[in-house]
Structures are given as structure tokens and as C-alpha cells.
Structure 1
């Protein structure tokens, strides 16, 4: 299915530039989702540096950099429609800056507080500008009860908000605090409430395999998973080739060092179909 039809691309870019997020009118089919879920579940069962746990030390919270060692994930980041979409939204060649799957296990998955991704990428890695885009692919059906992503439309235009004064102790916590429930860089609840009153907020729900794009500076969060349904959200961050970080010190599975443009490549195991599910909101 082609995103290459110019009116469709221009509409998506218009929505993205205005709101800081957009819904893509395609999704990965059920077989593709099943294959991706199978690979991620297998990775979650291994003790690897890329696997992050909740505070209990046993419940998987996230896995990172899977495209570097799993062939299906590697094929996914090169999917022609995803690369085309990222290039259209950013206006030029892109590479994969980050790959991760955030998991909220049934009844156990902890919230992500209000934050902006670009705060981490600029402050920790030295990314010059927010010229990157997150492509989100849920591997499970996402509904209001299992901790969906919540975004505040238009908040990406406000710059970085509520950056803390860092101390030596903060620096010792290292990269694990950037992927835990106790994030280093957050937007205060009062600020988020004020922004939500002014701009509204959108719950990003939908069936497994659906596609959304969101801006690195958009203010977003997600709640605890209080339901019996897991919520696994796969996220590919494409960065503009000319926007590579200047001081990447975090592990390579969090920050890709090679900024060579991603070459699109098809894989018959990864199939897109039209998404006719209801709109978010």
C-alpha cells in the first residue's frame, strides 16, 4: 500500500506539523503482528542488556535495539512505506536513531509520566534539533484501560518544558532512569493539566498493527495498566541524517552511532493493509 500518493502524504504532514502527531491510514496485518509479537516475546525471555525491568526486577518494562540482532525487526525499520513516511515528515534522508518496545504487562505495567522525548535526546545525547519522528506500532490491541499513549496536540511547538537543574547524583543514575517510571526529564502535572485545558488531549488507541507518528517534542504520557490485557508498543525513531547527536554516551542500543541513511527494502513477511478502524480521540 503506497504512502507515496502525494495528497495523502501532504495531508499527513499537515496534520503532523499542526498537531505533533498523526494517524496513518494503514496497519500491519494480523500475521505480521503475530510474527513481530513472537519475536519480541522471545527477546523478553532472555537476560540481555537491552531488556529493562520494572522495579520488581522481573517484570519486563521495555526492550531496546532489537533491530540490531533480530532479522524481522531489522526488516521492519527498512520497510519502504515507513522510511518513505519518515522522509516525507522530516524532509529528507533518515536513519534509525532508536528502536524500542515499551511493554505494560497485565495488571503490572507502570505509568510513564508526562514528558518530551527530545529532552532526553538533546540533554543526554546532544541531538541538535527535534528533526526526528517516532513511528508507533502497537503489538496488542490498545484501549483506554491498558495504558494507552496520551498526547497533547500542539504542545510540540512550545519548546522543551520544565527541564531540571541536574546534580551529580542525577548523573550517577545513568541511562536506566531514562527508561524507568521515575524519569529524569518530566513535564509537571500542573503544566500538563494547563496545556490539556488549552489544547485538549488525545488517547492513542486502536487495534494491534495500527500506525501513528508523533513528534519528539510533543508532551505525552501513559497510565498504569489496570486491565487484564497486555499493552506492547513498538517504537521506531527515525532521525534526519543531518541531525546526528554530537555527544552520544548512552549505550548504542539506545543511541545509534551510524547516521548513514536507511535504505528501504521490502520483506514479504511484513504486510500493510488499509486501516478502516475508528479514528482516535
Structure 2
């Protein structure tokens, strides 16, 4: 798929774009149907909150047939190639499970800050492509963005190892307040199947989910093949070490699975 010039300009200016209904509700439901089995797994890729509910599942595309296809879906990979101007490889594939009542906070951060510090990613030539697997509203812990904050480049951050069960390089309150003074805060919402694409230096966070509605989000993080990571201190399932360019499947690759299930 091709982005419009307006979408490309918004990505460059604001740091993110929202693509409503990029996947059908049926395609999103197929992806979501795989989650209960994944969340029951006892394996290193499944990260739990301090409360015991699942926080994140890494690298599901390596052990689930549906997500193996999603990881090569042209609606996710072709925009990444277009925006980064190169072939891309999979730096990270994860599902963040913001569980109803129990989904914990994600502190204010830039993803590139962690990828640079922990994985040795040279430059911010990686991006997130996120798929809503549930309807996202103002109550179930939506992502919060500070528009145009990506234009500051990498911002100094501290390594927070205590707030949640997952270590993260986070920004201090004074810096966040100054960025918000300039750019405000937005929280993109939408139906299951909506896609968010955002820059790796865009400052973002999410509040705890106190609502009775889950907010599961799938993230495909692609990196330019000429920007491969140089540190290998995190497990391969968190920061992949296969820098082979992603080869996309046909656009109907999920429909084929839905027909097989039916």
C-alpha cells in the first residue's frame, strides 16, 4: 500500500499518523483470537506485570502462524519502507496487553532511547507500526503522544528499573512538562483494526487501564537494514539479530487463514 502525500507530511511534522480501519474487524478479531493461548504460555517471551497479568509477549511471530503472517503483511511493511526510504528488517515484534483493571503504566519515553542505549542502534531510523486489537477509547489506557517532540532528537533519559516490571529509559517530569507546553498531548483512539505509525523519537506514554475493557496492541518495529543494532546484551526475542530484509506476503494472507478456520 502507498501512503498519501498528506499522510507522509503529517508523519514528518507531527511524528505519527493514524490509519483508521486499515485492517478489518474480522482480521483484527483473528489476531486477537490468538492471545489467550499466548498469554497462558510459560516461556521467557511472556512478560508479566507485578500483579501477575501479562504485560507483553515478545516475538510471537516466531511461534504463532497468524502472527508470522502479520509480521510480513504489506499493509505494515510497505509504509515502513516508504517512510524510511530503504528495505527494513524486524527489530522487535511484540503484543502489549493492557489488561482491564490491571494494565500498568508505560512511563514517558522515546523508543529510540532504549534501542540506542540497550541495543546499540546507531540512528533513529526505526519506527513503530501499531495495530489496535481492541477498540481504544479514552478510558482503557490509550497511547499518549506529545506531537512534534520527535524533532528534539534523542533526549537524555534515566534507566527506570523499579516503576514497572519492564526496565525502560524514561524522561524526567520537568522535561515532559516543557515538551507538553510546546506540543500538548494527544491520545489517538479508534476501532480494532486501526493502525498507528509513529517515529522512534516521538515521546509517548500510557496511563494504567482502570476500565473494564482490555486494550491489546500489536507492535511491528522495523529498522532500516543500514542501521542494524551493534549491541547484543538483550535476548534475541527482544532485540532481533536477523537483519534480513522482510519479504512481504500477499495482501490477502490473513483472509486465507480466516477461510481455513471457517
Provide TM-score, normalisation by structure 1. 0.86
**Cα–Cα, structure 1 residues 182 and 233, in superposed 2: closer, same or farther, change >3 Å?**
same
Q: C-alpha displacement at 1:26, in angstroms? A: 4.0
**Cα–Cα, structure 1 residues 129 and 73, in superposed 2: closer, same or farther, change >3 Å?**
same
Residue 12 of structure 2 corresponds to which residue in structure 1?
Answer: 17
Cα-to-partner distance string for 1:70-93 (whole Å, 9 max, x where unaligned): 111111111122211000110110
C-alpha contact 1:113 1:183 (8 A) present in aligned 2:
no
* 1:74 and 2:58 matched: no
What aligned pairs does 1:185-224 form with structure 2 within 5 A after superposition?
A: 185-224=169-208
C-alpha contact 2:22 2:75 (8 A) present in aligned 1:
no
C-alpha contact 1:120 1:178 (8 A) present in aligned 2:
no
Unaligned runs of 5+ in 2: 256-262
RMSD: 1.9
Q: C-alpha displacement at 1:9, in angstroms? A: 3.4
Residue 132 of structure 1 corresponds to which residue in structure 2?
Answer: 126
Residue 106 of structure 1 corresponds to which residue in structure 2?
Answer: 100
Cα-to-partner distance string for 1:109-167 (whole Å, 9 max, x where unaligned): 11111011111100111000010110011111111111000000111111222323x7x
Residue 228 of structure 2 corresponds to which residue in structure 1?
Answer: 244
C-alpha contact 1:110 1:181 (8 A) present in aligned 2:
no
Q: C-alpha displacement at 1:19, in angstroms? A: 1.1
Q: C-alpha displacement at 1:180, in angstroms? A: 3.7
C-alpha contact 2:47 2:54 (8 A) present in aligned 1:
yes
How many Å separate the matches in 1 of 2:4 and 2:77? 12
C-alpha contact 2:157 2:172 (8 A) present in aligned 1:
no
Unaligned runs of 5+ in 1: 171-176, 272-281
User: Which residue of the other structure, out of 5, 8, 23, is the alignment partner of 1:28?
Assistant: 23
Q: C-alpha displacement at 1:41, in angstroms? A: 2.1
Cα-to-partner distance string for 1:6-49 (whole Å, 9 max, x where unaligned): xx433222111111111125421122111111112210111111
C-alpha contact 1:162 1:188 (8 A) present in aligned 2:
no
C-alpha contact 1:62 1:103 (8 A) present in aligned 2:
yes
Cα-to-partner distance string for 1:226-276 (whole Å, 9 max, x where unaligned): 1000111111101000000011221111111011110111263526xxxxx
Q: Secondary structure at the match of 2:116?
A: helix
How many Å separate the matches in 2 of 1:142 and 1:179? 24
Range that drifts further, 70-79 or 10-19 = 10-19
Q: Secondary structure at the match of 1:190?
A: helix
* 1:89 and 2:83 matched: yes
C-alpha contact 2:143 2:187 (8 A) present in aligned 1:
yes
What aligned pairs does 1:23-62 form with structure 2 within 5 A after superposition?
A: 23-56=18-51, 58-62=52-56
Q: How many residues align?
A: 255
